[in-house]
Structure 1
Amino acid sequence: MDEPDLAGLDPFDLMAEEARQIEAFYAALPPDGWRAPTRCAGWDRRALLAHLAAVEDYTRAGLRGEVQQLIRAAGGGSLDDLNAWGVAQRDTLPHADLLAAWRDLVASNDAALRSRATETMDTTVGQYPVWRQAFYLASERAIHADDADVPVPESRVSHRLDWRLRFARVAVTENAQPGQVSVVADRGAQVVRLVEEECRLPDEQFVAAVSGRLPPEVDIPPRIRDALAVLV
């Protein structure tokens, strides 16, 4: 938990805040609102919430040391296969029941994660610090909240961008090959270098790039775009 770039941030609080916003949004949706498209190709809002519930299945399996068992239950394929399986498992649930099931999983998992903050948990890459995994889970909720057009209160916009930006830099560094990618803050933007290539992205675009959501019309070197997309 000694991570200077993340000092002063509580990932469990961040997870909880994103969950509250998602729950309030979905609870107020009219029936046709559940079928509205999202930024995730092929997923409407209902499928997106089913995916978020499937993420909670993965988290619960990680806390129990049963990630590989879950992957085998889903057919033993890739994470994409696991995602598709998790959505399909909830295909027949009424909207209200899907929201309630997701909410119950969130409550149980979030409490367990917080209680084990200094421990490790099972993941697809092996044992991983719970505290750091909580940042990935908070980011997952934030990304998909944006995908579904969950509104962000004005009072949260600045802080939300700050923590997502700070963790995005950490995630890029963690997932890159040693010395391959560097990110330097520069007056409301991030300067990204990859070997001989470089680009400068405003903070919001950097977060979008790391989330795999940078619009195609933003002109950056393809190799940098690929290297940044680590929270997808």
Structure 2
Amino acid sequence: MDTAVRTADVPPIARPECVALGAAETARTADLLAALRPDEWRAPTDCPAWDVRAMAGHVLGMTETFTGARRMMTDMTRGGRRAGDGPFIDGLTSLQVEANAGLDTAELVRRMETAGPRQARWRGRVRLLRAMPSKEEINGATETWRLGFILDVILTRDTWMHRVDVSRATGRTMVLTPGHDGRIVAHVVAEWARRHGRPFVLHLTGPAGGTFTQGTDGPTITLDAVEFCRILSGRAPGEGLLATEVPF
């Protein structure tokens, strides 16, 4: 059995680690997309409005949005206008899907391969903009995130979760390793634990899994590591402590 890790001992993800994780995740996503057959691009995903092709357009758009300050500010301004009174993220992702809808899949993959390393490098260089606030809805409440949290954590989580989505939609086995995927999952576990603050023992199975604890006399939960993240992202129902969502 894995040695249990206290969630308080899981280190934060920050520079330069976020650069390595971001670059690796966009590369794995590009590899997955490059391997798809023509019919697989039309498969429905766990995001009801998007098939695989539309989801890939969003992922490419989000990757390219964060390759430079001017591009980021332009896209965020346009996304806010598109959203109107609705959630900002819906406006931004809608624009990304629309902007990339006309690309053939080979060009989409090529641009993903190019933008991934650029995004990772820029995320590691950003200094002054890191304190910029952003309002986000999670667990029924409005939170204020700093751009640094989005750059260091959320962009990689978002791409990772969409790689999960595409793998499930196409029936392809997801590439998972302890050093990359296990690190992302462990950080999700630690944030989940902080958000609900309750004791537990969590056994996550699979290559990205591990055993995590917080406090004493809490419930014992056993789940596949990827399924655990799907539940916390709202893609599958969760009860008890698993009803506490974590942003992806």
TM-score where L is the length of structure 2 = 0.68
Alignment length (residue pairs): 215
Partner of residue 105 from structure 2, selected from 77, 95, 101: 95
Structure 2 segments unaligned to the other structure (5+ residues): 1-7, 136-143, 205-210
Q: Does 1:52 align with 2:59?
A: yes
Per-residue deviation, residues 34-69 of structure 1 (Å, max 9, x unmatched): 112222223221111111123225434767772752
1:164 corresponding residue in structure 2: 184
Q: Share of identical aligned residues, percent?
A: 18
Does the 8 A contact of 1:191 with 1:198 survive in 2?
Answer: no
Computed over aligned residues only, the root mean square deviation of the Cα atoms, in angstroms, reads: 3.6
Counterpart-to-counterpart distance in 2, 1:131 and 1:75: 22
Counterpart-to-counterpart distance in 2, 1:130 and 1:8: 11
**SS at structure 2 position matched to 1:124:** strand
Structure 1 segments unaligned to the other structure (5+ residues): none
> CA offset at residue 226 of structure 1?
3.9
Q: 1:161 to 1:112 in 2, by over 3 A?
A: closer
**SS at structure 2 position matched to 1:200:** strand
Per-residue deviation, residues 86-122 of structure 1 (Å, max 9, x unmatched): 2122222222222233333323221111233797264
> CA offset at residue 157 of structure 1?
3.2
Q: Does 1:200 align with 2:218?
A: no
Counterpart-to-counterpart distance in 1, 2:71 and 2:132: 8
2:231 corresponding residue in structure 1: 209
1:69-218 pair list within 5 angstroms: 69-76=77-84, 77-78=86-87, 79-116=89-126, 120=130, 122=132, 124-125=134-135, 128=146, 130=148, 133-149=151-167, 151-153=173-175, 156-172=176-192, 176=195, 180-182=196-198, 184-186=200-202, 188=204, 200-202=221-223, 204=225, 205-214=227-236, 216=237
> CA offset at residue 134 of structure 1?
2.1
Q: 1:55 to 1:168 in 2, by over 3 A?
A: same
User: Higher relative contact order at CA 8 Å, sep ≥6: structure 1 or structure 2?
Assistant: 2
Counterpart-to-counterpart distance in 2, 1:211 and 1:185: 20
Q: 1:54 to 1:121 in 2, by over 3 A?
A: farther
> CA offset at residue 212 of structure 1?
2.4
Letter in 1 for 2:94: A
Per-residue deviation, residues 16-50 of structure 1 (Å, max 9, x unmatched): 22212111122222222211222222322111111
Does the 8 A contact of 2:57 with 2:100 survive in 1?
Answer: yes
